[in-house]
Structure 1
Amino acid sequence: MDNMSLVKADFSNTVIDGVFVYGTSTWDLKLDGATQQNIYISSENLTITVPDLELAQFIALLIRNSNIRKIIDTITSKVVLILGRFTPERKAILDEIKVEIQAHGFLPVLFDFEGPESRDLTETIMTLASMSRFVVADISGAKSVPQELAAIVPHLPSLPVQPIIQDGERGYGMFEHFERYPWVLERLVYTSGDVGALVESVVNNCERRRASGA
């Protein structure tokens, strides 16, 4: 399969084993019921084996393209995941937080989910969190944030999580469970007029936690 275009190819109920796929395009494959193993990427005396076609395409790009490696390094060193509730009254503040975080040289990613628990939610949250430098969790009027933190906090001990709450809000009762984890920092209380100072504290706290390695 070297140097082939397999875009939208149908491999349903097939066995793909022991093939070479260097230079192969594998977008939107149909793989229902397919068995994949021993997929080889071979170039310039370097041979790597991966378990599926789509991963082979990604790994080939990664090892051959220094720009992609730089992009991945940039993402993992600068992304900040922001969790919160995107009601009309909350979104304006979260947008301010995003702008302030960006002004500190980070790449803020806002995530809001108001639907029922699902596998897709958990996988998305874990993927975004695993690429993040730290997480900011606004627990003001929390609805989906408890579910999101449950997917992140127990599994990523090297990821600082900074909870924030607007002055006058009480937070939710079960949040104290997360405060037992050392990488969940002491919550910061803020008002709508001091978002700049809030983000300054958030960045300092999270960077201090990362530097301590504790």
Structure 2
Amino acid sequence: MATANKQQLAVLKRGADAWNNWRADHPETELCLAGSDVKDIDLAGANLRGANLLGTNLLRVNLQGANLEAADLRRCNFREANLTGANLRNAQLYRANMNRAILTDADLQGANLYRAYVSRATLRNTNLRGTDLGLATLVSSDMDGVKLSGARVYGISVWDMKGEPADQADLVITPDERSDITTDNLKMAQFVYLLLNNEEIRNVLDTVGRKSVLILGRFSPERKKVLDALRGALRKMDFVPMMFDFEGADTKDFTETVKILAGMCKFVIVDITSPKSSPLELQATVPDYKIPFVPVIQEDEEPFSMFANLQEYPWMLDLLEYENAEQLVDVIEKAVIQPAMIKSDQINLQKAGIIRKRHAKDYY
């Protein structure tokens, strides 16, 4: 690796004004500051265009409004640096550490941030159009208003991203050597990448869609055996039961949680026994998902008053009464699973636009 030019480094450490004056007097001089340590200095407005700063320590440096266009910034340490409004167009930032850096209003269009570390950073209104963010880490970063169109985001990590990007069009989710696949949402890009590159995840999602059954209800200690019996019976029949207990649910998050779980399942079993069952919660869920709901209730109990309205939806099956958990398990295949699977097939036909037909000869 090239070593820093001692004369240039000495000038740089005197600050941005001294550096810019020297640069104006030496416009054709090749700039080499590689491997140097210039942490904690003020370089706001410095003209470092095209400079070789490979591996330089720029910890907490003020580079506000600086010109780093086309600079070699590979493996640089920009941790906690202030790059507000800086020009980093077409800069090389391979494996650069920009964790906790401030990049508000910075321009990185066309820059190479492959495998860069940009976690807990501030990228508000930052221009990242056409950048290579392949395998970059942007965990918990503020990306509100960031412009991303045309960026390569193959393998990017954006967990706990804050804010909403302003421009997410044509994000490339494949590596250089493959044909481009694009999407228009950064979080979706991360998910699609996982699907494309992990057969196990694809298999899990396929299993979830075909075999998962959501069980809803309020399972107080005395009714816990109903839950256990249902889960045990479903497991024996090669289903994957998931349970959501109304009893411990946070009202704020309930509807969203149930919608997510229901959308993943083949059908839903909902026990509405006990007056504590939540009509409002079910009314907020059932209308939105065309999947079979199988309502069950212990005999001698009455459903909540608005339940009849939910039965207007064709994917809500007839209410099944049962004496006890043992009886419910005995009939689960014929009274629960088979009707749910038939209803699921009917719903799929409707979604596919297949017309149901009869013929007069069937009635002779």
Using the size of structure 2 for normalisation, the TM-score is: 0.53
Supply the AA of the counterpart residue of 2:166.
T
User: Please, which of 144, 147, 151 is the counterpart of residue 16 of structure 1?
Assistant: 147
1:140-179 residue pairs with structure 2 within 5 A? 140-157=273-290, 159-179=291-311
Residue number in structure 1 paired with 2:168: 37
Residues 33 and 64 of structure 1: is their aligned pair in 2 closer, same or farther, counting only changes over 3 Å? closer
Structure number with greater Rg is: 2
> Structure 1, residues 6-26: CA drift from partner, whole Å, max 9, x if none?
233x22445131221112222
Which 5+ residue runs of structure 1 have no aligned equivalent? none
Q: Is the 8 A contact 2:277 2:304 kept in 1?
A: no
3-state SS of the aligned residue for 2:173? strand
Name whichever structure is richer in helix by fraction: 1
Partners in 2 of 1:5 and 1:111 — Cα distance? 34
Percent identical pairs in the alignment equals: 36
Partners in 2 of 1:59 and 1:69 — Cα distance? 10
> Structure 1, residues 41-68: CA drift from partner, whole Å, max 9, x if none?
133012212222x322111111232322
> Structure 1, residues 69-123: CA drift from partner, whole Å, max 9, x if none?
22111101111011111211122211211111111111111112345643x3222
3-state SS of the aligned residue for 1:135? strand
3-state SS of the aligned residue for 2:311? helix
| CA-atom RMSD in angstroms | 2.1
Deviates more, 1:145-154 or 1:185-194: 145-154
| Deviation (angstroms), 1:130 | 1.0
Residue number in structure 1 paired with 2:16: none
Q: Is the 8 A contact 2:208 2:265 kept in 1?
A: yes
Q: Is the 8 A contact 1:126 1:151 kept in 2?
A: no
Residue number in structure 1 paired with 2:57: none
| Deviation (angstroms), 1:142 | 4.5
Name whichever structure is richer in strand by fraction: 1
Using the size of structure 1 for normalisation, the TM-score is: 0.87
3-state SS of the aligned residue for 1:82? strand
User: Please, which of 195, 199, 205 is the counterpart of residue 72 of structure 1?
Assistant: 205
Residue number in structure 2 paired with 1:97: 230
Q: Is the 8 A contact 1:62 1:68 kept in 2?
A: yes
Deviates more, 1:56-65 or 1:38-47: 38-47
Aligned residue pairs, count: 209
